[in-house]
Amino acid sequence: MSTVILGGGLSGLSAAYYLLKTHPKHSVQLLEASTRLGGWIKSNTLNNNIIFEEGPRTIRPHGLAAYNTLSLIQEIGLESSVIPIHSTAPAAKNRMIYADGQLHLLPSSISSIFKVMSPFSKPLVWYLMHDFIAQKQTVKDESIYDFCNRRFGTEVADYLISPMICGICAGNSKEISVKFLMKTLFEYEQKYGNIYKGLIRNLFNNSPKTELSKLAKRAKVERWSVYSFKDGLESLPRAIEQYIKKKDISIELNAKCKSIELYPRNITVHLDNGKSIDASQMISSISSEELSQLLKNQHPDLSTLLEKIKSVTVAVVNLQYNKKLLPKEGFGFLVPPKERLPILGVIFDSSCFPNGENTVLTVMMGGAWFQELFGKQCDKEYILNLAQEHLKLMLGINEQPENVKVNILEKCIPQYTVGHNENVEKIQKYIKENKLPLALCGSSYYGVGVNDVILSSKNAVEQLC
Ligand SMILES: Cc1cc2nc3c(=O)[nH]c(=O)nc-3n(C[C@H](O)[C@H](O)[C@H](O)COP(=O)(O)OP(=O)(O)OC[C@H]3O[C@@H](n4cnc5c(N)ncnc54)[C@H](O)[C@@H]3O)c2cc1C
């Protein structure tokens, strides 16, 4: 059996890892378009040992997908490089939003939900109770904004959910499906009339027990909030790369696939360097939009479904200053879209992982509003100036940074808009009905975070083999 894996980002590397682990006799070939493996995960270490993360920077340690990642980390021997942020640290407790011209701490403890905390006009518990009286609306899917607005009120939708969606997928909560983050709560409403009835009915439903790895148990006992690695998040794809290279795998860089012939018993991948590769099955870890282009001629219907999952562009500005400048330590802040500012959020990297007297920040811009804000031709200088102007306004930082890096990550985060789950079901149905030897993983289908894409790779391998 020969398998070709398309894409060498975290999900392609993870797919190779699981395939080699469960089917060591398979012939595996991984094709990566660029000159490096790791995809969006890129940690740049500066001369002064400061790390600029261009893409993701932290991983969640709780939940089934997270436990799976922690097992993988242990299996590849990366355990000793993990650096957690504990739940008592300021970076775990202090999550903020910027609204009405100032920073506001979000409720983060049981006692805080009983207090009025600006910009909310009532204690959070009041909004949560609103679910008892909110009318049920029968819908197949809706935006997460509409769902939260109906069940908890406009202030929760505007100040809690909308910025959270900016932070997770740089998206617009008025377009993103409720099933992206709140599938279970949505189903409770649809089934029982309100969320609390659903919660109570399912209180004693035992979820399947998972055998936790040593590292996952440690994360639970030590109450990690999130974690990264000593040399940055890129340590993870690097360690998987080193691990799989010791096995029987062929990895080709500069190997951009330009079209695919996909039949029930065989696949031919055509590369833009003129080479063609035959295989008996394929795992695609590239974005659905890119895959849709490769299948356009032979499978136009599948291509149309894949094309519906669009990704947004994010501008990432990393800045380092030689002194402590933050008015408050914390994870950082998000900006509710209703503020109509060109900033999605600012991460306080040096609060999360302190590094002497330095202040390290990452400003995220654009996302669902990228075209509207920066147009098709955007200038890095302009983006940097805008980021610095807003750091002055929002954090009072007037100093010039010692080091800066601006990156424009084109189409980097898929958007799970209303109808996404149904669209993915149709994609899987097409693959099944046409008996195509193709499995899909990566951030376009079953979750956009690091844990989700690793789990999607494990599932893709199981599905195919
Ligand atoms: C700015 C940003 C911040 C993020 N922050 C977090 C975070 O803090 N925590 C978290 O959990 N997640 C975060 N994420 C999400 C996380 O980074 C992604 O889930 C993950 O990196 C996706 O990996 P992937 O392998 O699926 O895709 P990619 O990284 O996109 O990898 C796909 C690979 O396929 C290659 N490729 C594309 N087309 C072809 C082709 N035709 N032929 C061959 N190869 C091809 C590409 O070159 C690329 O290397 C963030 C994402 C971004 C963009």
Tell me the pLDDT tens digit for each residue of 107-124: 988 899 999 999 999 999
Residue 181 lies in a domain: yes
Same structural domain, 298 and 424: yes
Q: What is the mean pLDDT of residues 436-464?
A: 97
Q: CA–CA separation, 322 vs 330, rounded Å?
A: 18
Instruction: State both tokens at 74.
Output: 């242990």
List the one residue out of 66, 20, 18 whose CA is nearest residue 210: 66
Residue 223 lies in a domain: no
Give the end of a domain, one of 181, 201, 221. Answer: 201
The yes-or-no verdict on residue 186 having pLDDT over 90 is: yes
Residue 125 lies in a domain: yes
Give the C-alpha distances (Å, rounded to integers) separating 190 from 129, 153, 225, 344.
18, 18, 31, 32
Give the end of a domain, one of 201, 222, 239. Answer: 201
The yes-or-no verdict on residue 144 having pLDDT over 80 is: yes
Same structural domain, 159 and 287: no
Q: What is the mean pLDDT of residues 249-266?
A: 95
Q: What is the mean pLDDT of residues 9-34?
A: 96
Residue 145 lies in a domain: yes
Same structural domain, 369 and 456: no
Q: What is the mean pLDDT of residues 289-309?
A: 97
The yes-or-no verdict on residue 377 having pLDDT over 80 is: no
List the one residue out of 271, 275, 276 whose CA is nearest residue 33: 271
The yes-or-no verdict on residue 208 having pLDDT over 80 is: no
Residue 53 lies in a domain: no
Q: What is the pLDDT of residue 376?
A: 67
Same structural domain, 249 and 268: yes
Instruction: State both tokens at 443.
Output: 């951030």
Tally of structural domains, the chain: 3
Same structural domain, 274 and 331: no
Any residues with Cβ below 6 Å from ligand 1, and which?
6-12, 31-34, 39-41, 55-59, 256-257, 285-286, 290, 314, 316, 409, 412-413, 442-443, 448-450, 453
Backbone angles phi, psi at 368, to 5 degrees: -60, -20
Residue 360 lies in a domain: yes
Q: CA–CA separation, 49 vs 230, rounded Å?
A: 11
Q: What is the mean pLDDT of residues 354-365?
A: 94
pLDDT-based confidence at residue 271 (cuts at 50, 70, 90): very high
pLDDT-based confidence at residue 168 (cuts at 50, 70, 90): very high
Residue 241 lies in a domain: yes
Which residue among 224, 383, 443 has the greatest number of ligand 1 atoms within 8 angstroms of its CB, and so is best to mutate?
Answer: 443
Instruction: State both tokens at 176.
Output: 């993103």
Instruction: State both tokens at 400.
Output: 């010039």
Q: CA–CA separation, 182 vs 188, rounded Å?
A: 10
Q: CA–CA separation, 162 vs 149, rounded Å?
A: 11
Instruction: Report the length, in residues, of the chain.
Output: 465
Q: What is the mean pLDDT of residues 158-168?
A: 97
Q: What is the pLDDT of residue 375?
A: 84
Tell me how far the alpha carbon of residue 166 lies from the centroid of ligand 1, in angstroms: 17
Same structural domain, 401 and 456: no
Instruction: State both tokens at 401.
Output: 């940074």
Instruction: State both tokens at 243.
Output: 């691990």
The yes-or-no verdict on residue 204 having pLDDT over 80 is: no
Q: What is the mean pLDDT of residues 63-85?
A: 97
For ligand 1, what atom is nearest to the CA of residue 60? 11
Same structural domain, 185 and 244: no
Residue 459 lies in a domain: yes
Buried b (16+ CB within 10 A) or exposed e, 1-36: eebbbbbbbbbbbbbbbbbbeeeeebebbbbbbeee
Same structural domain, 179 and 235: no
Q: CA–CA separation, 215 vs 229, rounded Å?
A: 14
First-last CA distance in the chain = 10
Q: CA–CA separation, 140 vs 151, rounded Å?
A: 16
Give the CATH number of the domain where residue 377 resides: 3.90.660.20
Tell me how far the alpha carbon of residue 412 lies from the centroid of ligand 1, in angstroms: 7
Quote the distance between the C-alpha of residue 68 and its chain's center: 16
Per the prediction, the chain carries an average pLDDT of 95
Q: What is the pLDDT of residue 1?
A: 85
Contact 371, 291 (CB under 8 A): no
List the one residue out of 318, 344, 377 whose CA is nearest residue 50: 318
Same structural domain, 345 and 383: yes
Same structural domain, 332 and 253: no
Tell me how far the alpha carbon of residue 34 lies from the centroid of ligand 1, in angstroms: 12
Give the C-alpha distances (Å, rounded to integers) separating 219 from 83, 216, 296.
11, 5, 45
Range of the domain at 435: 2-39+62-73+231-309+417-464
Q: What is the mean pLDDT of residues 193-221?
A: 86
Same structural domain, 284 and 427: yes
The yes-or-no verdict on residue 98 having pLDDT over 70 is: yes
Contact 10, 456 (CB under 8 A): no
Tell me how far the alpha carbon of residue 40 lies from the centroid of ligand 1, in angstroms: 4
The yes-or-no verdict on residue 215 having pLDDT over 80 is: yes
Tell me how far the alpha carbon of residue 7 lies from the centroid of ligand 1, in angstroms: 9
Q: CA–CA separation, 41 vs 38, rounded Å?
A: 5
Same structural domain, 153 and 28: no
Instruction: State both tokens at 8.
Output: 């060498």
Q: What is the pLDDT of residue 209?
A: 75
Q: What is the mean pLDDT of residues 243-270?
A: 95
Tell me how far the alpha carbon of residue 64 lies from the centroid of ligand 1, in angstroms: 21
Give the CATH number of the domain where residue 124 resides: 1.10.3110.10
